[in-house]
Amino acid sequence: MAQVNSWITPGSGNWDNASSWSLGVLPSSSQSLIITNSVWKAVAINSSTPVNFPGSMTVNDLTVRGSTNTENTLLLNYFGTVLPLTVLNGLTLQDDGRILNLSSGLVVQSGTVVVTNSQMIQDGGLVRATNTEMHLSYAEYDLTNGVFEAGTVRVGWPFSSTFNQFGGTVVITNLVLGPGNPGDVPPGSCVSGYALYGGNLSLPGGLTLLDPNNTVNSYLQEGGTNQTTKVYIEPDIFGNSPYFTLNGGLLADNEVNLVGDDFAGVTLQQNGGTHIVSNSLNISGGAANGYTPLQSTYQLNGGALSASNINLNGNPGPAAFTQTNGITQAGQINANGYWFTAPTSTYVTLSGGTLACSNLFSSDGGYINQSGGVLIVSNLLSFGGYRVPEGPPPIYTQYTFTDGTLVASNINVGGQWFIGSASLPNRISNRGTCSLALMLVISNAVEQLGRFILATNATIDLAGNASRLSFADSSGQTWSGSAILTILNWNGNPQGGGAEQLKFGTDQSGLTPAQLAQMQFQLGSPPQRYSAKILNTGEVVPDRVLGASVAYAKQGNNLVLTWPSGWSLQTATNASGPYSDVSGATSPYTNNISLHAQRFFRLRQ
C-alpha cells in the first residue's frame, strides 16, 4: 500500500520543498499525494523541478481537494512535457480542487480521473489519460491550447458538467455526454455538454448524445475542426431532445443518425460552418405511444453541408430536412414514409440557400415544400405514392412550389405538384422530361417544362385565371396507350393567345394525333368533356364536345340525375339494353328507386 504524503504548509509553496510534506520527503512513485488542507493555496511544480528532482515527478496516486472556504490548486508551471508529472493509479479533484496546467505535462497511466465540483484548466502542454476513464461531475475542463488525449471521458457522470475547447488538439476515443444509465442520476438533474470554439477535436469512437431520464446533453461548435466516425443523437428512455448546434468551423464524420423515439424527436441545427458527411445523413422521427408524432429535423440555417446521401425515414414518425439558407450538396435524397399511418411523413423544406443533389425521391405521402432558394436536381426529381390515415381519402405525396428556382433535368410526378402564382416567369428549368401520373396544378404562373410523358390517367389543373404552362415538343415521347390526360379550369381563347394557355412545342407538330386523342378538356357546369386540338403555335385548346355522362345523387328513395344540355336521357332494365327514351325527362330528373328493382341510364344526342 502506498504511503500517504500530505501537503502540510498552510499556504502556497513549491512541490520540491520536502518540509512542506507530511513525510518530510519529496513525492515519489510509492506515495499517495494529498493536497487537502485549509487556506487558499497553489502548489507549484516549476521548470527546475524535473531537472533537479526528477524522482518527484512520478507518484502512485494524487488527490487535490478544497477545504472550508478554501480552493487548492496544483500549478503545473511551465516545466514542459519532456518529463511530465506521472500519476500511476488515479487522480482525484474534489470540492474546489483545481489543476492549472501551463505548458506542462500530466500523464495518468491507470485508474480513474475523477473531477467533482472542481475545474481543470490547460493552456498548452500535454494531458494524457489514454488508458483510464475521466469522470466530470459538477465539473469543468477548459482547454485553450496544448494536447489532451484520453481513452474514455464521461462529461456529466452523473451531474452537470462541461468540456470547453478553445484551441489545441483533443483526441478522445470514447466521449460520453451525460450519465450512462437512467438510474445513475435523479430525473432532470444533469445538464452537460461539449463546446468546441477552436482547435482540433478527434473522436475515433464517435459522438453520441443521449438524454435518458430527463437529462439534457448538448454539443456546441463555434469553430475549430471536429473529425469523428459517426454522430448519433437520440432522446433515449424517458429522455428529452439533446441539443446539437454547429455555428462555425468544420465537422467531418462518416455517418449521422438523428433518431426519434417514443419520448421525443431530435434536431441538429447548423447555423454556419461546414459539415461533411462522407456516407449517409439519416433522419427518423418518433411517435409517443405510436400515435403522437415526434419530429426529427436537420435544420440548415447557414454554412455548408455535404453528404453522400440524405435519408429521411418517416416510418417511426415524421422526419424533416429544413433549409433556410446556406448550401447543401448531396448525392441522393431519399424521403420515405409508411403508407398506412397518418402521423408518419417526411418533409423536405427549402426557403432559402441552395440545395443540390443528383436525385431526389419522395414517397408515401411525403411533402416537398419550396418557398424560396434554389433546388438543383441534376438527374431525377421524383415524387409519388400516398399514405392512408385511419380511413380514406389517401394523402398523396406533394411538391408545393411557391417561390424560388427549380432546376431539374427530369421530373416524375406520381403525386400532386402545386405550382404557385408568381410575377416572374420561368422559375423552373426542366431540360429533360416531365412525366405525369396524377396531378399538376398551376396558379397564375408562366412556366416552361420539358418533354411531356403521360404515364397513366392524370390531370393538369389551370387554377386561377392567368396560368400559362408550356412543354417542349413531346411528339417523340411514348405515352401510356390507355391513359387520359384531363385539363381542368381552362379559361383561355379557343383561337389561342388567351389569358390561359397550354402549349406543347412551338407548332402543330408538338403532339401526335394519337397523343391529342388522349387529351380531354373538362369545362362548364355541369361539366362537359371536349376533345383537344393543337394550333399552329403549339397551343392546345378544346375542340368538340365528347360523349356526355350522367351525374347522380341519392336523396332518400330517389335518385336525382343531371346531365348537360343537348342530350336525351335513355333507360333500360339491363346494362346491354335495349335502351329507350325517358318520355319528357329533363335535367334534373328524379327516379324513384323503390319502384324498379334495377334500372340503367345513358345519354344520346
Q: What is the pLDDT of residue 238?
A: 72
Task: Give me the mean pLDDT over the 293-306 stretch.
Answer: 97
Cβ neighbours of 472 (radius 10 Å): 22
| Confidence band of 549 (pLDDT split at 50, 70, 90) | confident
Task: Give me the mean pLDDT over the 128-141 stretch.
Answer: 96
Q: Rounded CA gap, 320 and 335, in Å? A: 9
Task: Give me the mean pLDDT over the 127-141 stretch.
Answer: 96
Q: What is the mean pLDDT of the chain?
A: 93
| Confidence band of 605 (pLDDT split at 50, 70, 90) | low
Q: pTM for this one?
A: 0.88
200 φ, ψ (degrees, to nearest 5):
-120, 130
| Confidence band of 62 (pLDDT split at 50, 70, 90) | very high
Please write the tens of the pLDDT for every residue from 421-468.
988 899 999 999 999 999 999 999 999 999 999 999 999 999 989 999
Distances (CA, A) of 164 to 19, 97, 170, 573, 594: 37, 18, 11, 86, 83
Q: What is the pLDDT of residue 337?
A: 83
Q: Give me the residue label for grid cell 489543476.
A: 99
User: Which pairing describes strands 528-534 and 540-545: parallel, antiparallel, or unpaired?
Assistant: antiparallel
**Least confident piece of the model among 181-195, 199-213, 268-282, 477-491:** 181-195
Q: Rounded CA gap, 10 and 40, in Å? A: 8
pLDDT at 117 over 60: yes
Nearest C-alpha neighbor of 119 from the set 136, 102, 144? 136
C-alpha cell at 264: 421525443
pLDDT at 177 over 60: yes
Vertex 509: Cα angle to 507 and 510 (nearest 5): 75
C-alpha cell at 352: 432559402
Which is higher by pLDDT, 574 or 204? 204
Please write the tens of the pLDDT for every residue from 522-540.
998 777 889 999 999 999 9
Q: Residue 183: CB partners within 8 Å, gap ≥ 6?
A: 213
C-alpha cell at 588: 334534373
Q: Residue 371: CB partners within 8 Å, gap ≥ 6?
A: 350, 351, 402, 403, 404
Cβ neighbours of 151 (radius 10 Å): 16
| Confidence band of 387 (pLDDT split at 50, 70, 90) | confident
Please write the tens of the pLDDT for every residue from 474-516.
999 999 998 999 999 999 999 999 999 999 999 999 999 999 9
Winning range, highest mean pLDDT, from 51-55, 235-239, 388-392, 597-601? 51-55
Cβ pair 148, 179 in contact under 8 A: no
Q: Residue 447: CB partners within 8 Å, gap ≥ 6?
A: 419, 425, 426, 427, 428, 468, 469, 470
Q: What is the pLDDT of residue 145?
A: 98
Cβ pair 127, 148 in contact under 8 A: yes
Q: Rounded CA gap, 329 and 277, in Å? A: 10
Q: Rounded CA gap, 306 and 270, in Å? A: 12
C-alpha cell at 317: 414518425
Residue type, 356: A
Q: Rounded CA gap, 106 and 109, in Å? A: 10
Q: Which residues pair with 392 in a beta bridge?
A: none
Residue type, 467: S
Q: What is the pLDDT of residue 421?
A: 92
**Least confident piece of the model among 89-98, 246-255, 280-289:** 280-289
Cα 252 from chain centroid (whole Å): 17
Q: Residue 577: CB partners within 8 Å, gap ≥ 6?
A: none
Cβ neighbours of 575 (radius 10 Å): 9
**Least confident piece of the model among 313-317, 464-468, 564-568:** 564-568
pLDDT at 180 over 70: no
The terminus-to-terminus CA distance of the chain in angstroms comes to 112
Cβ pair 435, 474 in contact under 8 A: no
